[in-house]
Homo-oligomer: A and B are copies of this chain.
Amino acid sequence: MKVHIIGIGLIGGSFAAGIRKAFQWVEITASDANSENLANAKRLGLIDSAETQKSISKADVVIIAVPVDVAPKILVEVLDQVSENTLVFDTGSTKAGICKAVATHPNRRNYLAAHPIAGTEFSGPEAAVSDLFSNKTNILCEVEKTAFRLQERALEIFQKLAMRIRYMDPAAHDRHIAYVSHLSHISSFMLGKTVLEKEKDERDIFDLAGSGFASTVRLAKSSPHMWTPIFRQNKENVLEILNGYIENLLNFRDLLQNDDFDAVFKEMERINYIKTILNGIR
């Protein structure tokens, strides 16, 4: 199987590592706007060679794992070049825009819109691991628009990487992911900002580890290159949930201000219900 990966960072690199481990005969090429990423991916054995996008026409699978602002344009270019038998999927965190961008493309049936919900706060091929997707959900959108035999090939790959598959329409995907992922990133970034502003003496932050801060602020290490385009593309959904979050914080602030600690208690007790839901989540 010939695989070409466009964008060999954490996600692209982890697909390379996972596919190489799961399939016996595989040749992996990659392209990347960042030549250092390509050199590192080669050195780490993630890819066999760094090639130009010429590899696309010969590939069985093309994976597009680039920031979501450039993904639609690259996807159109790729679909312009693919043979009838090439599966193309992307991995982006927003799905409505990219699906719209290729809705009328003559080779739309080569494309599968995918979003593997996996990642760490680290970036680049050095952060790639072969089991990144294991037991993670992969959301597929508009699957009925992908050629059946290419769906099959995709599902074989996802299955071998131990992903759980879920189907959603692009609009529902973008809404849900704003709730459970994009908001978490904003809350974490702003928490980091607020504490950095207050704690001029950094040792105090360091020493107060174990305080819960480390886990809530973890996502504030994420890459602005990846996240700015996500917030831009999913702006409406992000604003809606962010406003809901701010409203809840203001309300909680008022409860404290008014010494209504009975309400504070009941509020937290109700939210504790999240335990039940998160039990299956690690």
Query: Is the beta-carbon distance between B248 and A194 smaller than 8 angstroms?
Result: yes
Chain A interface, number of residues (Cβ within 8 angstroms): 91
Q: Which of A11-19, A35-43, A267-275 lines the interface with chain B? A: A267-275
Q: Which of A106-114, A150-158, A176-184 lines the interface with chain B? A: A176-184
Query: Is the beta-carbon distance between B195 and A180 smaller than 8 angstroms?
Result: yes
Query: Is A2 interfacial (CB 8 A cutoff)?
Result: no
Residue-wise interface mask of A (208-240) relative to B, using a CB-CB cutoff of 8 A (1 in contact, 0 not): 111111111111111111011001100100110
Q: Which of A58-66, A71-79, A141-149, A198-206 lines the interface with chain B? A: A198-206
> Can you tell how many copies of this chain the complex includes?
2
Q: Which of A26-34, A48-56, A84-92, A252-260 lines the interface with chain B? A: A252-260
Partner of A242, one of B183, B184, B256, B277: B256
Name the residue of chain B whose CB is nearest to the CB of A225.
Answer: B265
Partner of A180, one of B136, B204, B264: B204
Residues of B within 8 Å of A211, CB to CB, are 117, 177, 180-181, 184
Query: Is the beta-carbon distance between A176 and B208 smaller than 8 angstroms?
Result: yes
Q: Considering the chains assembled together, what is the distance between the CA atoms of A273 and B250 in angstroms?
A: 28
Q: Ordered nearest first, which 3 A-B pairs have the shortest CB separation?
A: A181-B211, A224-B268, A209-B281
10 A-B pairs whose Cβ atoms sit less than 8 Å apart in the complex: A180-B204, A183-B195, A184-B191, A189-B271, A215-B218, A217-B278, A221-B274, A222-B268, A232-B261, A242-B249
